[in-house]
Structure 1
Amino acid sequence: MPSTPVMDDKAIVKDYFNATGFDRWRRIYGDGEVNKVQLDIRKGHQKTVDTVMAWLQADGDLAGLTICDAGCGVGSLSLPLAAAGARVFASDISEKMVAEARQQAQETLASEQLPQFAVSDLESLSGTYHTVACLDVLIHYPQAQAATMIGHLSSLAESRLLLSFAPKTLAYSLLKKIGDFFPGPSKATRAYLHREADVIKALESEGWRIQRQAMTKTQFYFSRLLEAMR
């Protein structure tokens, strides 16, 4: 059976995050009441965001840095980056996600801190930025398309590329197979795991070297974070 084209995956993701997926993930990424599984995923994702912020703040040059948050969701990374003084361009394939992120930014940030928001898929992003961040988005891309996408994101980044992805290991593949990786009846998108060696190979082929790496692991959230530098 032939593999499903990435365009089909993209359409599914777009429709999902503009419908039932938006309500579900807005709750997860927000601070309202959620169930045990959603709370676990919220804590895991926040740990990934906190790690990125800690790395960038440790470098001491975050203020004024141009950063593209590719796949920004409801702004969980974009908003703290902007609050810290970065000049942020934030995009997401979901109009509802972008609208929520924009509203949160207007409610919490000063006017001069507001990110520039856009509704866009990763393939359509353009421009040049000091740093490009793409957190927990590659899970929607099969490995072949993920390598192509890493190449495109690399073309946007001058000095740093931050990627997080669900690592493909025997244990995590088993969890995904039995339905525990993304539990819940509202899941409606394919979840692709990626071998870390393949991701690193794709990065190195674009001239990157791995500077820092981290692993966030909770009961239901597994994310490998890589910082690639030129």
Structure 2
Amino acid sequence: MAGLSYLERRSAIEAYFDRTAVEAWSRLTSDAPLGRIRASVRAGRETMRQTLLSWLPDDMSGLRLLDAGCGSGALAVEAARRGAAVVAVDLSPTLIALARQRAPRCPGGGSIEFLAGDMLDAGLGDFDHIVGMDCLIHYPQADMVEALNKIGARTRASMLFTFAPRTPALAIMHAAGRLFPRKDRAPAISPVAEAALRRALVDEPGLSNWRFARTQRIKNGFYVSQAQELRRA
């Protein structure tokens, strides 16, 4: 998707997850048996989800959280169990329907509102924390920074997001991924260099009140992603 605008990329991602990959994504996020490659992705995503959850308060009563690109809703459910009022948004109406179907009744006073739409929609309101797990990895660095800038203006405490680190190993995996039949391919991931991303975030005036906190790279087979925490100064 080289050279595409944010809106064009967003449309391609929505089409893929809402139509092409629904069955595969449903299996990936369930307990169904998988092949070696997708099993490694499932395990990697679970490790990443638990990492991001560990960076959130254990008691989130009275806090509002945006789960951006919520997929099947697993992270949203756990945050709601901690007492958070969660807004879980995804571009795919089909995945939102799956998330609603899978979500149990939330104990602990929390709640989840599942919405199909754009994570950048200002109409979603303000939040204490936002989590964007693997929802920005399809966008180039400039779009990632702009998205964090827009979301950060509506966030009081922390922003947790992941990016695809630019590494030789990841480049090999992407090349192998291109061997899959076109109909099975996910939208292209846009790897970014960690140092360059940090410089771009520091140079963004709208993020001047944010500071780098924890970071963690998760690598499991064909899953490689890096979590970054930004905290409001």
**1:188-227 equivalences in 2 (<5 Å):** 188-204=186-202, 205=204, 206=207, 207-227=209-229
Give a deviation string over 1:23-55, Cα, whole Å, max 9, x none: 111211111222211111011001011111222
Distance 2:179 2:120 in 1: 28
What TM-score do you get using the length of structure 1 for normalisation? 0.89
> One-letter code of the match for 1:158?
R
Give a deviation string over 1:174-204, Cα, whole Å, max 9, x none: 432x224x87431141211122223323443
Q: How many residues align?
A: 224
Give a deviation string over 1:57-89, Cα, whole Å, max 9, x none: 4xx442332110011011021111111211111
Question: Are the equivalent residues in 1 in contact too, given 2:138–2:190 (CA < 8 A)?
Answer: yes
Show the counterpart of 1:30: 30
> One-letter code of the match for 2:4?
T
> One-letter code of the match for 1:120?
G
Q: Structure 1 residues 14 and 65, CA, compared in 2 at 3 Å: closer, same or farther?
A: same
Q: What secondary structure is seen at the aligned counterpart in 2 of 1:193?
A: coil
Show the counterpart of 1:21: 21
Show the counterpart of 1:115: 112
Q: Structure 1 residues 163 and 202, CA, compared in 2 at 3 Å: closer, same or farther?
A: farther
Q: CA deviation at 1:160?
A: 0.3
Show the counterpart of 2:50: 50
> One-letter code of the match for 1:18?
D
Show the counterpart of 2:93: 95
Q: Which moved more, 1:165-174 or 1:28-37?
A: 165-174
Give a deviation string over 1:94-131, Cα, whole Å, max 9, x none: 001111111112x3535953301111123324411000
Distance 1:94 1:22 in 2: 9
Distance 2:3 2:70 in 1: 28
Distance 2:154 2:64 in 1: 11
Distance 1:123 1:80 in 2: 23
| Structure 1 unaligned regions, length at least 5 | none
Question: Are the equivalent residues in 2 in contact too, given 1:150–1:202 (CA < 8 A)?
Answer: no
Show the counterpart of 2:6: 6
> One-letter code of the match for 1:122?
M
Show the counterpart of 1:228: 230
Q: CA deviation at 1:168?
A: 1.2
Q: CA deviation at 1:132?
A: 0.7
Question: Are the equivalent residues in 2 in contact too, given 1:87–1:113 (CA < 8 A)?
Answer: yes
Show the counterpart of 1:73: 71
Identity of aligned residues (%): 29
| Structure 2 unaligned regions, length at least 5 | none
State the Cα RMSD in Å.
Answer: 2.1
Question: Are the equivalent residues in 2 in contact too, given 1:82–1:115 (CA < 8 A)?
Answer: yes
Distance 1:195 1:49 in 2: 22
4+ residue segments displaced more than 6 Å:
none
Distance 1:134 1:187 in 2: 22
What TM-score do you get using the length of structure 2 for normalisation? 0.88
Q: Structure 1 residues 202 and 132, CA, compared in 2 at 3 Å: closer, same or farther?
A: farther
Distance 1:183 1:83 in 2: 41
